């Protein structure tokens, strides 16, 4: 059976497993290393590193998204039409564009640091900026794998990145290589990743014919890529840590560290929901060229399961933040507690960004996204300008969260006008009610049982009571049992019966 012949739920499940495996291991490695690095460097040095790394992330994501997303979109489009030679030609063109951009951006950035950079952090900055080249060059082959709706090769190459990154971080802390060692971990990891990722893609494409791209198609790809770069730049302002720029000039390095820790934790917290969203976006983009009604149904179902995963995790994390921060980061990071609570709660809307954005991209309506993200960027910047000078990291968390919420609302409204997309509001109310009760219990336990025992008891209690509350609030539907059972089929046999029993308990039986 070919990929296009499989049911969307099967494709999403398969890609969710591979993407999920990669992301879970990535979260474990990055979360553990971020705690170790934060304790090792302290808030002051971590703040300086976070500020410089922010610009590296912005440059990599902005330059990477445009060409790579164009690779996925047009390769999927032509493979769906049976034009495999054109799909291969799209990859070759995109890879060439990406290589030119990567070398140019990295070289120019390093030159600016050499001429104008702070001498105390110049070496660290140069190493981080050099990592832009391998970081960017892994994007196009990754999206080519996504075009084949096969994320397994991306997962294997990511393992190489994570292992090498963790080893360098461990060596840095042991041998006390300081900021240069932390920066080198990124460069080494990205280099390993791009080597492992590029080879398999080239071998897979080498058996396909190679067509010559028409000038009109090349112009379309260029236009889409330029729009994607502009869109990613706006996305960075709205969805990423642009507040660090305000904090740099209106606050201290420690406040930058508190905000960076909170932002990173919030992003890592929604791992499962991000896995589902990423896998679903691949199938949404492919399905949009086949069946519009099935695309809308798939988007609606995706949002329901995103609610099921993201809302309880976010509310539960906010409830145990104080004990969690004290246990993981130590007393020096306790001022980050209110920042983290705000970031976690206001970060919930972000998980719903991907669905309408993917559908608008599939419809070649990036102009709609760009317009509304421009409006959102202005709103976000205004809120940051008002709040950060007075409230520092806490103001940054509010500014970023309110900007994200505004952006999600307007992009959903815009998508609904173009594609008639609906949001599952009733499911949101039921799942939200169950999550609030669960979070209240976790909060009570964590504040009455001190230390690590209270933290772990609160988390365990929340996990146990959540399925019960879902049943009481009737948050799930009969057909969810079949969809959730697909996950059980992939679990180890030892825990499959227990998982199936929980699913049967949560979901009502079919009439």
Residues 80, 153 share a domain: yes
Confirm whether pTM is higher than 0.95: no
Does 61 score more than 90 pLDDT? no
Per-residue DSSP letter, 211: P
Residues 480, 468 share a domain: no
- Look at residues 222, 240, 258 and tell me which one is the last residue of a structural domain: 240
Are 103 and 130 contacting, i.e. CB atoms less than 8 angstroms apart? no
How many other C-beta atoms can be found within 10 angstroms of the C-beta atom of residue 406?
18
How many other C-beta atoms can be found within 10 angstroms of the C-beta atom of residue 86?
22
- Look at residues 240, 273, 299 and tell me which one is the last residue of a structural domain: 240
Residues 444, 303 share a domain: yes
- Look at residues 182, 205, 240 and tell me which one is the last residue of a structural domain: 240
How many other C-beta atoms can be found within 10 angstroms of the C-beta atom of residue 100?
11
- Nearest Cα to Cα of residue 373 among 278, 202, 239: 239
Are 333 and 261 contacting, i.e. CB atoms less than 8 angstroms apart? yes
Residues 433, 400 share a domain: yes
Are 10 and 486 contacting, i.e. CB atoms less than 8 angstroms apart? yes
Are 98 and 52 contacting, i.e. CB atoms less than 8 angstroms apart? no
pLDDT at position 219 is: 92
What CA–CA distance (Å, rounded) separates 453 from 327? 10
Does 314 score more than 80 pLDDT? yes
Per-residue DSSP letter, 331: G
Give how far Cα 485 sits from Cα of 304, 433, 496, 501, Å: 16, 24, 9, 10
Residues 217, 168 share a domain: yes
What CA–CA distance (Å, rounded) separates 15 from 381? 36
Does 483 score more than 80 pLDDT? no
What CA–CA distance (Å, rounded) separates 225 from 231? 10
pLDDT at position 479 is: 77
Q: Please give the share of the chain, as a percent, with pLDDT higher than 70.
A: 89
Residues 262, 179 share a domain: no
Residues 22, 3 share a domain: yes
Residues 498, 453 share a domain: no
pLDDT at position 237 is: 63
Tell me the pLDDT tens digit for each residue of 139-152. 999 999 888 877 78
Q: How many CA atoms lie within 13 A of 158 on its CB side?
A: 20
Q: How many domains does the chain have?
A: 3
Residues 461, 352 share a domain: yes
State mean pLDDT over 269-273.
Answer: 72
Does 443 score more than 90 pLDDT? yes
Q: Which residues of 438-464 are buried (b: 16+ CB within 10 A; e: fewer)?
A: bbebbbebbeeeeeeebbbbbbebbee
| Start-end of H helices in 240-353 | 243-250, 253-269, 271-287, 292-319, 321-328, 337-346
State mean pLDDT over 449-473.
Answer: 91
Q: Please give the share of the chain, as a percent, with pLDDT higher than 90.
A: 42
pLDDT at position 194 is: 95
Tell me the pLDDT tens digit for each residue of 391-402. 999 999 999 999
Query: Mean pLDDT lowest for which of 383-392, 415-424, 451-460?
Result: 415-424
Q: Which residues of 369-395 are buried (b: 16+ CB within 10 A; e: fewer)?
A: bbebbeebbebbbebbeebbeebbbbb
Does 511 score more than 60 pLDDT? no
Give how far Cα 51 sits from Cα of 252, 375, 389, Å: 11, 25, 17
Range of the domain at 224: 1-240
State mean pLDDT over 483-496.
Answer: 69
pLDDT at position 66 is: 81
pLDDT at position 3 is: 44
pLDDT at position 4 is: 47
Residues 469, 480 share a domain: no
Residues 363, 322 share a domain: yes
State mean pLDDT over 222-240.
Answer: 77
pLDDT at position 273 is: 72
Residues 405, 391 share a domain: yes
Does 2 score more than 70 pLDDT? no
């Amino acid at each position: 059976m070919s990929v296009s012949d499989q049911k969307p739920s099967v494709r999403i499940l398969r890609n969710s497993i591979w993407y999920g495996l990669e992301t879970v291991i990535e979260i474990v490695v990055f979360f553990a290393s971020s705690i170790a690095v934060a304790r090792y460097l302290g808030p002051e040095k971590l703040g300086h590193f976070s500020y410089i790394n922010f610009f590296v992330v912005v440059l990599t994501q902005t330059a990477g998204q445009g060409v790579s997303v164009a690779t996925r979109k047009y390769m999927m489009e032509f493979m769906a039409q049976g034009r495999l030679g054109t799909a291969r030609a799209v990859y070759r063109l995109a890879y060439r564009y990406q290589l030119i951009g990567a070398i140019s951006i990295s070289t120019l950035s390093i030159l600016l640091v050499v001429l104008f950079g702070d001498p105390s952090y110049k070496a660290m900055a140069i190493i981080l900026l050099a990592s832009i080249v391998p970081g960017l060059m892994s994007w196009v082959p990754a999206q080519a794998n996504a075009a084949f709706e096969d994320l397994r090769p991306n997962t294997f190459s990511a393992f190489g990145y994570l292992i090498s990154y963790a080893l360098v971080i461990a060596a840095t802390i042991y041998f006390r290589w300081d900021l240069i060692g932390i920066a080198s971990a990124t460069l080494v990891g990205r280099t390993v990743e791009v080597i492992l990722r590029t080879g398999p893609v080239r071998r897979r494409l080498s058996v396909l014919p190679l067509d010559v791209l028409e000038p009109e198609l090349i112009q379309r790809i260029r236009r889409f890529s330029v729009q994607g770069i502009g869109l990613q730049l706006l996305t960075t302002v709205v969805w990423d840590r642009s507040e660090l720029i305000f904090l740099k000039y209106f606050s201290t390095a420690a406040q930058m560290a508190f905000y960076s820790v909170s932002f990173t934790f919030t992003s890592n917290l929604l791992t499962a929901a991000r896995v589902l969203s990423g896998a679903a976006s691949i199938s949404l983009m492919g399905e949009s060229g086949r069946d519009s009604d099935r695309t809308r149904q798939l988007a609606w179902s995706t949002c329901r399961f995103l609610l099921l995963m993201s809302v309880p995790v976010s509310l539960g994390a906010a409830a145990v933040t104080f004990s969690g921060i004290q246990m993981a980061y130590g007393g020096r990071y306790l001022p980050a507690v209110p920042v983290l609570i705000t970031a976690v709660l206001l970060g919930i809307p972000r998980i719903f960004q991907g669905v309408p954005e993917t559908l608008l991209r599939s419809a070649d309506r990036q102009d709609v996204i760009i317009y509304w993200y421009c409006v959102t960027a202005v709103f976000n910047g205004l809120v940051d300008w008002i709040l950060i000078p007075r409230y520092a990291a806490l103001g940054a968390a509010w500014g970023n969260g309110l900007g994200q919420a505004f952006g999600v609302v307007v992009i959903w409204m815009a998508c609904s006008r173009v594609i008639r997309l609906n949001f599952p509001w009733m499911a949101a109310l039921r799942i939200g009610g169950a999550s609030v009760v669960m979070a209240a219990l976790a909060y009570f336990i964590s504040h009455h049982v001190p230390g690590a025992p209270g933290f772990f008891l609160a988390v365990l209690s929340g996990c146990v009571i959540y399925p019960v509350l879902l049943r009481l609030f009737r948050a799930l539907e009969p057909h969810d049992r079949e969809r959730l059972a697909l996950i059980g089929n992939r679990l180890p046999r030892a825990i499959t019966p227990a998982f199936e029993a929980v699913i049967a308990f949560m979901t009502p039986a079919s009439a």
